[in-house]
C-alpha cells in the first residue's frame, strides 16, 4: 500500500512539474533557433518557419512562416521549398499563386522530396491547366519514392491514359528520375 501511495505521489508530481520544465527548455530552444535564423543559418530559418507555421513555441503566424521559409528556400533547403509550394498553392500566409507553387515544388522535388513530387502531380492534374502527362509522371515519381497514397492517386487519376500518353509519361519519368539523381 505504501508503494502505491509513493507511486501515485510521484506520478502527480511529474504531471505538475514536468510540463513547466519542458516549457522553459522550449522557450530557450526557440530563442536559440531564432538567433541562428537571424544570423543567416538556413536550417534554423526553416526550423523557425515551421514553428511559426504550426504555432509551436511561438504564436502562429503564417506570414512570418512564409518569410522564414523563403529565406531558407533561397539557401537551398528542400523542405522550405516544399512548404513554400504548399503556402502558394493554398494561399496560406501569402497570396495564392499556382505558378509560384509549381516552381517551389519543382525545386523541392529535384532535391528528392517525394511529397513535392506528389503535390506537383496533383497540381498538374487540377483545373484550370490540366497537364495529364506531367501530372501522371510526377505521381509515378512520388510512388516510386514510396510516398504514401501516390500509387493509389496514380491509379485513380491516370488509369485513362491513352497508349501514346502512357509512353510519354514513361519517358518523362525516366528524365525526371535522372535529374533527381544528380
Cis peptide upstream of residue 63 (ω within 30 degrees of 0): no
What pLDDT was estimated at residue 8? 44
What pLDDT was estimated at residue 16? 47
Can you tell me the distance from the alpha carbon of 117 to that of 110, in angstroms, rounded to the nearest whole number? Answer: 9
The C-alpha torsion from 99 through 59 and 32 to 67, rounded to 10°, is 20
- pLDDT tens for the 182 residues of the chain, in order: 444 444 445 554 445 444 444 444 688 899 999 999 999 999 999 999 999 999 999 999 999 999 999 999 999 999 999 999 999 999 999 999 999 999 999 999 999 999 999 999 999 999 988 999 999 999 999 999 999 999 999 999 999 999 999 999 999 999 999 999 78
What pLDDT was estimated at residue 173? 97
Can you tell me the distance from the alpha carbon of 145 to that of 9, in angstroms, rounded to the nearest whole number? Answer: 49
From residue 170, how far is each of 90, 115, 127 by CA, in Å?
29, 20, 23
**Taking the CB of residue 43, how many other CB atoms lie within 10 A of it?**
15
Tell me the domain boundaries of the chain.
41-111, 114-182
User: Of the CATH numbers 1.10.10.10, 1.10.1370.40, 1.25.40.10, 3.90.226.10, which one belongs to the domain with range 41-111?
Assistant: 1.25.40.10
What pLDDT was estimated at residue 23? 45
What pLDDT was estimated at residue 132? 96
What pLDDT was estimated at residue 21? 41
Is the torsion defined by CA of 58, 62, 64, 65 positive or negative? positive
Can you tell me the distance from the alpha carbon of 106 to that of 99, in angstroms, rounded to the nearest whole number? Answer: 11
What pLDDT was estimated at residue 176? 97
Amino acid at each position: 500500500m505504501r508503494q502505491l501511495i509513493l507511486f501515485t505521489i510521484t506520478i502527480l508530481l511529474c504531471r505538475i512539474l514536468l510540463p513547466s520544465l519542458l516549457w522553459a527548455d522550449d522557450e530557450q530552444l526557440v530563442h536559440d533557433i531564432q538567433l541562428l535564423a537571424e544570423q543567416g543559418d538556413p536550417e534554423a530559418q526553416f526550423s523557425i518557419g515551421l514553428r511559426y507555421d504550426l504555432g509551436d513555441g511561438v504564436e502562429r503566424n503564417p506570414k512570418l512562416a512564409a518569410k522564414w521559409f523563403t529565406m531558407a528556400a533561397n539557401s537551398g533547403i528542400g523542405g522550405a521549398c516544399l512548404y513554400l509550394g504548399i503556402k502558394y498553392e493554398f494561399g496560406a500566409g501569402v497570396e495564392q499563386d499556382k505558378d509560384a507553387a509549381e516552381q517551389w515544388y519543382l525545386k523541392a522535388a529535384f532535391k528528392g522530396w517525394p511529397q513535392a513530387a506528389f503535390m506537383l502531380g496533383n497540381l498538374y492534374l487540377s483545373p484550370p491547366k490540366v497537364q495529364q502527362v506531367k501530372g501522371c509522371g510526377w505521381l509515378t515519381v512520388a510512388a516510386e519514392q514510396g510516398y504514401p497514397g501516390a500509387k493509389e492517386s496514380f491509379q485513380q487519376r491516370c488509369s485513362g491514359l491513352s497508349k501514346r500518353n502512357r509512353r510519354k509519361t514513361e519517358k518523362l519519368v525516366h528524365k525526371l528520375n535522372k535529374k533527381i539523381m544528380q
